[in-house]
Chains A and B, each alone.
Chain A
Amino acid sequence: MSLLTELTIFVLAVFVGFEVISKVPNTLHTPLMSGTNAIHGIVLVGAILAIAIAAGDTLGQVLAVIAVAFGTINIVGGFLVTDRMLEMFKRKPEPRE
């Protein structure tokens, strides 16, 4: 992929990111942070590719496996914690007349 294409994607993602995230209310900022935390667990994808890159290089493979483990912690931990938090946000029960 050309650098220019990647930069285009990057710039558009910046705008979308600011647009979407500025709509998140203060109430949800902690889940937002742990949720985005889980999303940058996407490094797992990079780490999987890194294992392929490191074929034949033992130290490289060790580094890449650690990276996979880190990325996985990031993803599973992040999404689980966020889910636990969001589960607690409840609406006030409608008062029964």
Chain B
Amino acid sequence: MPAPVALSLQDPQFIEACYIVAAVCFIYGLRRLSHPSTARSGNVVAAVGMTIAVVATLLDRAVIDFPLILLGIAIGTVIGVPAARAVRMTAIPQMVALFNGVGGGAAALIAWTEFRDSAAGGGELALDTEIAILFSTVVGAVSFWGSIVAFGKLQEVISGRPVMIRGQQVVNGLILAAMLAGCVYLVAAGGDQSIYVAVLVLGSLLGVAMVLPIGGADMPVVISMLNAFTGLAAAAAGFALDNTALIVAGTLVGASGTILTRLMGQAMNRSLANVLFAGFGAAPEGGAVAGADGTDQSVRSTSADDVAIQLAYARRVVVVPGYGMAVAQAQHAVQELARELEKRGVEVSYAIHPVAGRMPGHMNVLLAEADVPYDSLKEMEEINPEFAQTDVSLVIGANDVTNPAARESTESPIYGMPILDVDKSSSVIVLKRSMSPGFAGIENQLYYDEKTSMLFGDAKASIQKVLGEVQAL
């Protein structure tokens, strides 16, 4: 008879059990994200799971070098905590990109360490471990450098415009081919350090080359994709290290990133393949655009007091915010105006297009920050049938997502993109700095509609003026 299992904290089975608990915490935490009222506690549950996983790992017999571990954790904490505390909500996308990037970088570095160890030992690695190491290396490197470039673009350190070089696709293809050749060589011929480093460098180049040509407006797709990549890199690192916690957590993130990438693609009417391989974010060139013949059409310009009267005596008002509103920092003023209107018995809701903002759901966060209650935020499918019963649609800094051409004109480059049907409401007020077209470079027929009036100027200043007029009524 074997002795009853000794309860040792260092028992590999105990550690393994902790990983299962951690995985359950992650899944349960994500589940609680299905509603805003439970979401915050879900995040805490996930954090508890993470603590359990990390502490359990520290119990592992192989882990002895605590000073080095503490050094790393200290460095990470000193950088991570203040950054997370200080970041402004408009800057969340670049912060997420950066955090995502370091995660990918960590996965690549782990793979590198593992590779050095196996090469030094001279031992033959199992094929699956070797493939996992290389996958983690490559995807981690792509994700790290891709995220750094995405950060640069969002932070406007690098030009947000698509940086295209001639034959970009060919260059990317060559880098990819060379990298894959290196991987095949490593699998076939074994641990050559210099080849490995070459693969790492090529992966890094690919990450940069892939994201650099992407325009700022396509960032929601790119960030989601890089998020999926990092998750998969972490899962691969789990395969290399035979670690369940990494496999499960990495895979969850991979799934989340994939879903978001697909949703963003749908919201911009681009297939995933189109996003991945074709003219990555090269927004349709302005030259081919029809509808620019609108020179003889006239727009109706309006004034703040007219807008105030229209809004104050409406029954239902729908606010359609775009990134322009966030840039102008007008969200707080908009919320004040909405509150004032509600006091007068006007029903106010917000129509949120899936790609409003710079990452999935970004607009919701910006409005939540301005104290807009989440039950006034309506998703596209929910609000579209309601526009017909809406007296006034107030479009603030949103453009392409309101362009009826996407619904009607088959020649339009954005044809087929799901839009908010603001043109179905009784009247439309558009707040805009000037008549310049949106990122797709397309004229918006909505502006020439006889129901539409334009209020030109800085969004924040305009809203404040309107608010003043409403209060004076």
Contacts and interface: CB of A to CB of B under 8 A. Distances in A.
Does B associate with A? yes
Contact of A30 (B35, B107, B359): B359
Given A41-B50, A43-B237, A67 B109 contact: yes
B464 interface: no
A7 to B, nearest CB: 9
A23 interface: yes
A59 B83 CA distance: 28
B445 interface: no
Instruction: Please report whether the interface of chain B is mostly helix, strand, loop or mixed according to DSSP.
Output: helix
Contacts, number: 381
Interface in A47-95: 47-55, 57, 59-61, 63-93
Contacts of B368: 85, 88-90
Interface in B186-231: 223-224, 227, 230-231
Interface string A16-58: 1110111111111111111111111111111111111111010
Interface in B218-262: 223-224, 227, 230-231, 234-235, 237-239, 241-260
A36 B231 contact: yes
A82 B402 CA distance: 30
Contacts of B26: 39
Interface residues of B, number: 114
B110 A50 contact: yes
Contact of B33 (A28, A44, A60): A28
A48 B247 contact: no
A7 B371 CA distance: 45
Contacts of B126: 3
B368 to A, nearest CB: 4
A42 B374 contact: no
B361 A48 contact: no
Contacts of A45: 53-54, 57, 243, 245-246
Interface stretch (B97-105, B153-161, B418-426): B97-105
B386 interface: no
B116 A17 contact: no
Nearest to A48: B57
B252 A48 contact: no
B367 to A, nearest CB: 9
A44 B225 CA distance: 21
Interface string B1-38: 00000000000000000000011001101110111110
A68 to B, nearest CB: 3
Contacts of B60: 48-49, 52
Given A20-B27, A53-B113, A65-B72, A79 B362 contact: no
Task: Name the residue among B81, B84, B92, B128 with the largest chain A CB count within 10 angstroms.
Answer: B84
Interface stretch (B62-70, B389-397, B430-438): B62-70
A86 to B, nearest CB: 4
B354 interface: yes
Given A40-B230, A57-B120, A70-B103, A79 B50 contact: yes
A93 B376 CA distance: 12
Contacts of B87: 81
B105 to A, nearest CB: 5
Contacts of B362: 30
B334 interface: no
A83 B375 contact: no
Nearest to B231: A40
Given A17-B256, A42-B245, A36 B227 contact: yes
Contact of B106 (A16, A29, A71): A71
A82 B50 CA distance: 14
Interface in B365-383: 365, 368-369, 371, 373-377, 379
B8 to A, nearest CB: 18
B255 A79 contact: no
A48 to B, nearest CB: 5
B406 interface: no
Nearest to A71: B106
Contact of A28 (B36, B245, B248, B373): B36
Shortest beta-carbon contacts, A-B, top 3: A72-B76, A68-B72, A17-B255
Given A66-B72, A71-B72, 12 more contacts: A26-B361, A27-B364, A28-B34, A43-B103, A49-B60, A49-B243, A51-B65, A67-B113, A72-B76, A76-B84, A80-B80, A87-B40
7 contacts: A6-B244, A21-B252, A31-B39, A46-B246, A50-B110, A76-B76, A80-B84
Interface of A: 1, 3, 6, 9-10, 13-14, 16-18, 20-55, 57, 59-61, 63-93
